[in-house]
Chains A and B, each alone.
Chain A
Amino acid sequence: MAEKIRVLIAKPGLDGHDRGAKVVARALRDAGMEVIYAGLRQTPEMITEAALQEDVDVIGLSILSGAHMALVPRVLGLLQEHDMSDVAVFVGGIIPDEDAAHLIAMGVKGVFGPGTPLEDVVNALRCEVVGH
């Protein structure tokens, strides 16, 4: 049996809108993944630490505050610092297309805006992990 796909879902920054993150967490659970739900107001340091301890394959960041261009690079930087660049980072939330392109260029594996079918999220994660 293949190893279980483990995903950390976290909301960095200060916005308190976690419904989207919860819906995605639930969908990933239903797709057979083990989802560690870290919840609201996580610093990039907390997220990296949790990802390390939980040995996750994927980090899903939910950001609706507009601070993605500040937060996501910090998470990516910390992952690199900890020799964890093999952990795939996905971002969900309100991300302008232009920023999404920047994030992808920095190493984010996918950006999911409002209205993304949950199936697409599940498939993108699965492809990323199983493809490795």
Chain B
Amino acid sequence: MKSSAVVDDADPQIHALAVAAMSGNRRALARLISLVEGGGAAALQAIAALYPHTGRAQIVGVTGPPGAGKSTLVCEMARAYRQSERSVGIVAVDPSSPFSGGALLGDRIRMRELSGDPEVFIRSMATRGSLGGLARATADVTCVLDAAGYKVILVETVGAGQNEVDIGRLAHTTIVIQVPASGDEIQAIKAGMLEIADLIVVNKADLPGADVMVEVLEAMLGLQSPPADLHHVLDAVSPVTSKGSPSGSGDWRPRVIKTSALRSEGIADLIEAVAAHAQYARASGRRAAHEREYAARQLRSMLQQEMYSRFLAQIGEQEIQAAVDRIASRQEDPYSAAIRLAATCRLSAGAA
């Protein structure tokens, strides 16, 4: 693999790992993922080395409540992709304990059928304090797998409630799993998870109530107001078209798909729907817009962190503590203190 200029500037050890990972060395890939997950200077160098080689993988997110069958479905999807000869990276996220910082990562246990396939790489991640359903470094880990050449990357979130929607920003296609008998229309129209769904899966379709659940979800989708960017073309197309299929009007309407991951049923339909969504996203420019939106979000967040750590270093711990004392004793309010301290900082000092 041709190395970029950025790679040449990096720590030679990290450079060597990056080159090895990109030429198929799985041990190097695993080490790189750990580096990226650990954060700090090594992570930055690794990402800098790998980033020019990314952007080729299709990232598919799978989210849903605990026990909905996410890992089992991910395993079935990976098997299907393998049948069409596409290599698969899997990132499975489980929560860290807020008390001990430890974690029990148990997603692999549902994926034993993927074992022994050199074109599949499974990595478990703990959230390490992140709250949006992914770990802070999950996006960076998908970068590493992307650079290593995996064609499809399946990202499984923690068991999600109503608020863990980060996956919708990271993934090109987001699948939200529901199970039979998990609520009525009101649950379905609440803000949150269903809003990020490109595809909705009703898993465990072998259980009673699956058809009702599908009806509820499709009814909910039928209630959706026409998407915002459709308004100016409203006279050209009908805003409400048949349920469960792309409306053909230029906007995507999530499909509802019934699966039983345990019995390997409905998987082909799901894979086909993911492909249809990917094609739609490319053709409509959504994919490109999504990439830009994501890049902007990442940049802003990095800037925030970078400026924060530079400011903090300039202000110094002593000044911080003194300000804390003043705030705690009501001599100064926290807003004024922050503005006062920030005003003493220079942006470029960290680079000097």
User: Which residues of A are at the interface with B, using a C-beta cutoff of 8 A?
Assistant: 3-4, 6, 25-26, 28-39, 42, 45-46, 49-50, 52-55, 82-84
Contact between B100 and A53 (Cβ–Cβ < 8 Å)? no
Residue of B nearest to A8 (CB): B108
* Partner of A45 from B33, B116, B123 at Cβ < 8 Å: B116
B27-53 CB contact bits vs A (8 Å, 1 = yes)? 100110110001000000000000000
B107-122 CB contact bits vs A (8 Å, 1 = yes)? 0110010011000011
Q: Please, which residues of chain B bring their CB within 8 A of the CB of A35?
A: 102-105
Contact between A55 and B104 (Cβ–Cβ < 8 Å)? no
Q: Please, which residues of chain A bring their CB within 8 A of the CB of B109?
A: 37-39
Contact between B103 and A52 (Cβ–Cβ < 8 Å)? no
Complex: A83 Cα to B26 Cα, angstroms: 12
Complex: A91 Cα to B124 Cα, angstroms: 22
Q: In the complex, which residues 75-113 of chain B have their Cβ closer than 8 Å to any Cβ of chain A?
A: 96-97, 100-106, 108-109, 112
Q: Please, which residues of chain A bring their CB within 8 A of the CB of B108?
A: 36-39, 50, 54
Contact between B38 and A52 (Cβ–Cβ < 8 Å)? no
Complex: A26 Cα to B97 Cα, angstroms: 11
Contact between B30 and A55 (Cβ–Cβ < 8 Å)? yes
* Residue among A3, A35, A49, A53 with the highest chain B CB neighbour number at 10 A: A53
* Partner of B124 from A28, A33, A36 at Cβ < 8 Å: A36
Give the tally of cross-chain contacts (CB within 8 A): 77
Residue of A nearest to B125 (CB): A34
Shortest CB-to-CB span from A32 to chain B, Å, is 4
Complex: A19 Cα to B122 Cα, angstroms: 25
Q: 3 shortest A-B CB distances, which residue pairs?
A: A29-B102, A55-B30, A39-B109
B188-231 CB contact bits vs A (8 Å, 1 = yes)? 00000000000000000000000000000000000000000000
* Residue among B27, B100, B108 with the highest chain A CB neighbour number at 10 A: B108
Shortest CB-to-CB span from A23 to chain B, Å, is 12
Complex: A43 Cα to B106 Cα, angstroms: 17
Contact between A84 and B100 (Cβ–Cβ < 8 Å)? no
Residue of B nearest to A51 (CB): B30
Give the dominant DSSP class at B's interface. Answer: mixed
Complex: A34 Cα to B105 Cα, angstroms: 7
Contact between B102 and A53 (Cβ–Cβ < 8 Å)? no
Complex: A29 Cα to B26 Cα, angstroms: 26
Shortest CB-to-CB span from A61 to chain B, Å, is 16
Contact between B102 and A46 (Cβ–Cβ < 8 Å)? no
Q: Please, which residues of chain A bring their CB within 8 A of the CB of B31?
A: 55
Complex: A36 Cα to B123 Cα, angstroms: 10
B171 is an interface residue with CB less than 8 A from chain A: no
Complex: A68 Cα to B267 Cα, angstroms: 39
Q: Please, which residues of chain A bring their CB within 8 A of the CB of B121?
A: 53
B126 is an interface residue with CB less than 8 A from chain A: yes
Contact between A37 and B105 (Cβ–Cβ < 8 Å)? yes
Contact between A3 and B27 (Cβ–Cβ < 8 Å)? no
Complex: A24 Cα to B121 Cα, angstroms: 26
Complex: A83 Cα to B30 Cα, angstroms: 13
Selected A-B contacts with CB under 8 Å, 8 pairs = A26-B104, A30-B102, A34-B96, A39-B112, A46-B112, A46-B116, A52-B26, A54-B108
Q: Please, which residues of chain A bring their CB within 8 A of the CB of B102?
A: 28-35
* Partner of B33 from A3, A29, A55, A84 at Cβ < 8 Å: A55
* Partner of A34 from B30, B112, B116, B126 at Cβ < 8 Å: B126
* Residue among B30, B96, B104, B122 with the highest chain A CB neighbour number at 10 A: B104
Contact between B30 and A53 (Cβ–Cβ < 8 Å)? yes
* Partner of B126 from A4, A26, A53 at Cβ < 8 Å: A4
Complex: A48 Cα to B232 Cα, angstroms: 58
Complex: A84 Cα to B31 Cα, angstroms: 12
Contact between B97 and A29 (Cβ–Cβ < 8 Å)? yes
Contact between A54 and B104 (Cβ–Cβ < 8 Å)? no
Contact between A32 and B105 (Cβ–Cβ < 8 Å)? no
* Residue among B38, B97, B105 with the highest chain A CB neighbour number at 10 A: B105
Q: Please, which residues of chain A bring their CB within 8 A of the CB of B101?
A: 4, 32
Contact between B124 and A54 (Cβ–Cβ < 8 Å)? yes
Contact between B100 and A3 (Cβ–Cβ < 8 Å)? no
Contact between A54 and B115 (Cβ–Cβ < 8 Å)? no
Q: Please, which residues of chain B bring their CB within 8 A of the CB of A28?
A: 102
